[in-house]
Amino acid sequence: MAKRYDQHKVAMRKKRYGIWQEYTWAESLAHMRDFCLGLVSLGLARGEKVSIIGDNDPEYYWAELAVQAAGGISVGIFTDANPQELAYVLQDSDSVFVIAHDQEQCDKMLELREAVPNIRAVIYWDEKGLWHYRSDWLLSFQQVEEKGRAYAAEHPEAFEKLVAQGTGDDIAIFSYTSGTTSLPKGAMIAHRNLIYGMRHVFAVAPIRPEDNYVSFSPLAWITEQSLGLTAHVCIGTVVNFPERAETIQNDIREIAPSALLFPSRLWESLLSMVQVRMTDANWINRALYALFMPVGYRVVDLEDRGRRVPIWWRALYALGDMLIFHPLRDKLGMVNMREAYTSGASLSPDALRWFRAIGVTLKNLYGSTECQTHTLHYGGEVRFETVGKPPPGVEIRIAERNEIYVRSRSVFQGYYKAPEATAKALDAEGWFHTGDAGYLNAEGHLIYLDRVKDLVPLASGEYFSPQYIEVRLRFSSYIQDAMALGSAERDFVGALIIIQFDNVARWAEKHRVSFTTFVDLSQKPEVYNLIRKDVQRVNATLPEAIRIKRFSILHKAFDADEAELTRTRKLRRGFLAERYREIIEAIYSGAESVQVRAEVKYRDGRTGVVQTAVRVVDV
């Protein structure tokens, strides 16, 4: 890219002390070349590993590219790794150098020095707080660059020769898995894997050299490596690094990027921020928001169903865009946003729908460390209940127990020093066994269910995901909680449902359904009909064999103080199954109701105990 563009073409920007500092492609190349040769002068050899721990900065990009130019392998480590986690990755990866951001990361390394004798030096790029450190183990980024310039003076063609030795099959990075079920494993990712992983996504959502990209998601995350750093060096996108986490929103607004990748939790925090600020807005903006959000939702829902948007809805949306949506996108820094992605944990359909309603076409990426992107939403084909379709070049196969298999040129080369785990994950035909469960709908969209190990069998031999069903039931504003039922002895899936009392009460008052207590409201036929629609909505996303056939609305909410929930509000399934055994038996026996004793709280504050019938209905 430095040869393609003139010396004034901006490659990246970093905001420091409130000012955006620009680096041209020529400057970026010089930093990377000097650092590369500095590492070589310190003894870095081809195939050796260098770990990098730090926030997204130009120095991170230069360091990683420098390691790879020298024929080394870069290992990204999340900045919040504790000393024990850090030591594990350094030892498991056989790293010989560590490149650390700042004093915090250097302090971790100094604490670990005796535990990691393989580390030859720790190189830092932010010297704040490190001026008075006296250690022959610590070097500054600038010191290594100086060594590189001296090395280049003695070996004028060294850099070009090092680069020429590299091939697309060389390992570029180790990307460590999350380690939720075992110790993290280092996935070996070749250069060509990164390039094809990027191409797969951009075949559906093209990126241009003049596009501005904000790099904020951790570079230890494979998706940021693929769509951020790889796109920068292969396509020439301009990368912008925010000053710090606290300024991210303002920094994005100043740059107004055309492409943005955030994990789902950051998109959700943006949505929450807007909703909170809207409550404090002046009455005009609150009124406009309340008036036009339903218009945005209506247009999005019509598009989602593949129906033509009538001209009057388009006209209303255009008016809403002028009065509220465009100003809102401007506040979020998304007026130029063309490609917005979310990856990692699944983003709720409600959040996806909200961003689309205000004019930000946010797309779900479903993938893994080992294979990068498996599926994504295509433009005009966003289906909230799915994780999209495989891009060109990616194959999806549904195997036994609904396990998702993936095959493409972005599939990794195996786990470092773990041949048994590699053999289990990669078969002879090149399929990566994800360990995830899902299925393809009639449109070819993938619906993600759960991890295979968490699926529950039915008597028919079919497997279902309780968590998938429960999460999607909770997307309803009328459902507070739910517990999906089923086992190898049961013929079908059932459900226990808890209503969201405040919302259902408002609905009841609006529709003139009289009630006295939570118990009374929960058993109203009208409420069952209301909830049945939400159950049917979820069933529409499920294969026939694992749809909810019968359900009951409980007379009380699940309560952590009664040991029904953990303190993090996870269901205690065994305890709940025993406590509500009679209701569950009624669901599976075909009964229409069951008598229970329940403590009630009246609307005037009085409490009491009543005998009531809890209804059971068919879907």
Tell me if 30 is assigned to some domain. yes
Tell me if 177 is assigned to some domain. no
Tell me if 382 is assigned to some domain. no
Of the candidates 195, 206, 203, 230, which has an alpha carbon nearest to the alpha carbon of residue 409? 195
Both tokens of 67, joined, read 């390691």
Distance of alpha carbon 433 from alpha carbon 463, whole angstroms: 18
Domain count, the chain: 2
The mean pLDDT values, 10 residues at a time, for the chain of 619 residues are: 72 95 95 98 97 97 98 96 93 98 96 96 95 93 97 96 96 87 88 96 89 92 92 94 90 91 82 81 91 94 84 95 95 90 75 90 88 89 85 95 95 96 95 93 88 90 89 83 94 95 90 91 95 93 92 90 71 88 94 80 62 92
Tell me if 425 is assigned to some domain. no
DSSP state of 324: I
pLDDT recorded at residue 567: 56
The domain that holds 95 is classified in CATH as: 3.40.50.980
- Answer yes or no: are the C-beta atoms of 243 and 214 closer than 8 Å: no
Of the candidates 266, 260, 263, which has an alpha carbon nearest to the alpha carbon of residue 207? 260
Cβ-proximal residues to 610 (8 Å cutoff; 6+ apart), any chain: 519, 597, 598, 600
Question: What are the C-alpha distances in Å from 440 to residues 379, 395, 449, 455, 544?
Answer: 19, 12, 11, 17, 13
pLDDT recorded at residue 603: 54
- Answer yes or no: are the C-beta atoms of 486 and 547 closer than 8 Å: no
**Strand 171-176 to 121-124 pairing:** unpaired
Distance from the Cα of residue 547 to its chain's centroid: 27
Both tokens of 137, joined, read 């183990």
Residue 607: phi, psi to the nearest 5? -120, 160
Distance of alpha carbon 612 from alpha carbon 600, whole angstroms: 10
H or E element, residue 539: helix 525-539
Burial (CB count within 10 angstroms: exposed 0-12, middle 13-18, buried 19+), residue 315: exposed
Q: Which of 109, 138, 166 is the last residue of a domain?
A: 166
pLDDT recorded at residue 565: 78
Tell me if 140 is assigned to some domain. yes
- Answer yes or no: are the C-beta atoms of 103 and 128 closer than 8 Å: yes
pLDDT recorded at residue 346: 67
Distance of alpha carbon 189 from alpha carbon 202, whole angstroms: 19
- Answer yes or no: are the C-beta atoms of 66 and 35 closer than 8 Å: yes
The domain that holds 577 is classified in CATH as: 3.30.300.30
**What are 608's strand-pairing partners?**
600
Tell me if 78 is assigned to some domain. yes
Alpha carbons within 13 A on the beta-carbon side of 307: 11
Q: Which of 151, 166, 181 is the last residue of a domain?
A: 166
Which residue bears the tokens 């990748």?
Answer: 261
Distance of alpha carbon 526 from alpha carbon 530, whole angstroms: 6
Distance from the Cα of residue 527 to its chain's centroid: 35
pLDDT recorded at residue 384: 76
What is the residue range of 462's domain? 455-618
**Strand 395-398 to 372-376 pairing:** unpaired
Distance of alpha carbon 240 from alpha carbon 128, whole angstroms: 22
pLDDT recorded at residue 515: 92
Of the candidates 19, 38, 29, 28, which has an alpha carbon nearest to the alpha carbon of residue 58? 28
Q: What is the largest CA-CA distance in the chain?
A: 92
How crowded is residue 82: how many other Cβ atoms within 10 Å of its Cβ?
9
Burial (CB count within 10 angstroms: exposed 0-12, middle 13-18, buried 19+), residue 134: exposed
Tell me if 543 is assigned to some domain. yes
DSSP-based three-state secondary structure for 151: helix
pTM over 0.75: yes
Q: Which of 166, 182, 205 is the last residue of a domain?
A: 166
Alpha carbons within 13 A on the beta-carbon side of 288: 18
Tell me if 601 is assigned to some domain. yes
